[in-house]
Amino acid sequence: MNAESHAAAMSASDDERCPFMPTYGPPAVTFVRGRGTELWDTEGRRYLDFLSGLAVVSLGHAHPAVAQAVAEQAATLVHVSNLYANVVAPDVARTLDRLVGGGGQIFFANSGAEANECAIKLARRYGGRGRHVVVSAYGSFHGRTLATLHATGQPAKHEAFQPLPEGFRHVAWHDLDALEASLDPTVAAVLLESVQGEGGVQPADTEYFAGVRRLCDERGILFMVDEVQTGLARTGEWFGFQHFDVRPDVVTIAKALGNGVPISACWARAEVAAAFRPGDHATTYGGGPLATAAARAVLATMESIDAPGLARRQGARLTDALAAIPGVTAVRGMGLLIAAELEAGEAPAVAAAALERGLIVNAVTPTALRLAPPLIVTDDEIDQAVTILTEVLA
């Protein structure tokens, strides 16, 4: 919502006033139902969702296995608090640990920001007093809580909320020399994404991540990887860091884990996780039966369909098709997290025009469109999306 519409809303009567705080712009469409890659609005119009609710519904909308798991769990047991155990969460924790690579422990939360908040607190607890700084990269995005906002390497997002919590430092993305120069004895951890999603879909590479791992080992610093957007098969591996043959100390996971049901996780090597003591960190809803039942169904389904393989195959098809569209100058990304760079700086207008024709993408920068369809996207749906973008860019 812009300043004018916000003012109009504030001057409206109670019945007319928007019931929500103006933290988002005015929504262009109201959706009422979804199935797979498709959504329908209140007028009955069909859309192709090539954003997956920002990489959340990786199995598609209304996936039957997830819907059934949630319905059965809701009719059985929804909440008991973390003072007691439930029978679902351990299954999900063990599966996530295996997919990350094993040897770790899990803390469940509700959102990506909360998973990163857990990682930041764990790094400070592990580093000890005086060793509390977390170094992240310019262009990164790690969340909207005060701590994760400061970890986010986008200074323009900081301005309205000063002073932010201390203990964060930013360096140029993909610059090992800059990172090394920032590592003084106050640093507890380096926090990076395997692909900077909000930064324009900018992937890391093997040399960079290997160099970060080496520097962290030399300095006794934790290497933490934010896989909130990239985790759970989105890039063509279970986690983005697995493309680079490194092993992080901490991994944060969120968006795809519940396929729309709020749940996130912070994984840490057992030695690192042991720094936490009872009372150091907690959450009311994290790891509850309902959300973990959804996550258990998501993980079982993803393994049964080889979700990383789907992301690789369909990602290659979509990448090739986008590169052939006149007006697209470059395509980058990994798996099914892709950015199409446009010849002219018109990505917001192109995204709006695509929406008018029934295709959901977003302008992740002024010149780039982000595409992240469900991993189950079909060849025909890719062809439909590419046809729409070709028409819009003609």
* Residues marked as catalytic: 141, 226, 255
Cβ(123)–Cβ(224) under 8 Å?
Answer: yes
Enclosing H/E stretch for 58: none
Chain length of the chain: 394
Structural contact between residues 254 and 264, judged by C-beta atoms closer than 8 angstroms: yes
Burial per residue of 228-258, b for 16 or more beta-carbon CB atoms within 10 angstroms, e otherwise? bbbbbbbbbbbbbbbbbebbbbbbbbbbbbb
Q: From CA 297, how far away is CA 257, in angstroms rounded? A: 10
Give backbone dihedrals phi and psi of 229, rounded to 5 degrees, phi first.
-95, -30
Cα angle 103, 109, 114; round to 5: 105
Candidates 153, 212, 138, 225; CA nearest to 180 is 212
Please tell me the distance from the alpha carbon of residue 292 to that of residue 94, in angstroms, as a whole number: 12
Please answer whether residues 288 and 258 qualify as being in contact, where contact means their C-beta atoms are separated by less than 8 angstroms. Answer: no
Mapping DSSP to helix (H, G, I), strand (E, B) and coil, where does residue 369 land? strand
Instruction: Give Dmax over CA atoms of the chain in angstroms.
Output: 62
- Separation between Cα atoms, residue 155 and residue 148, nearest integer Å: 13
Bridge partners of 365, per DSSP, are 368
Check if the beta carbon of residue 290 is closer than 8 Å to that of residue 261: yes
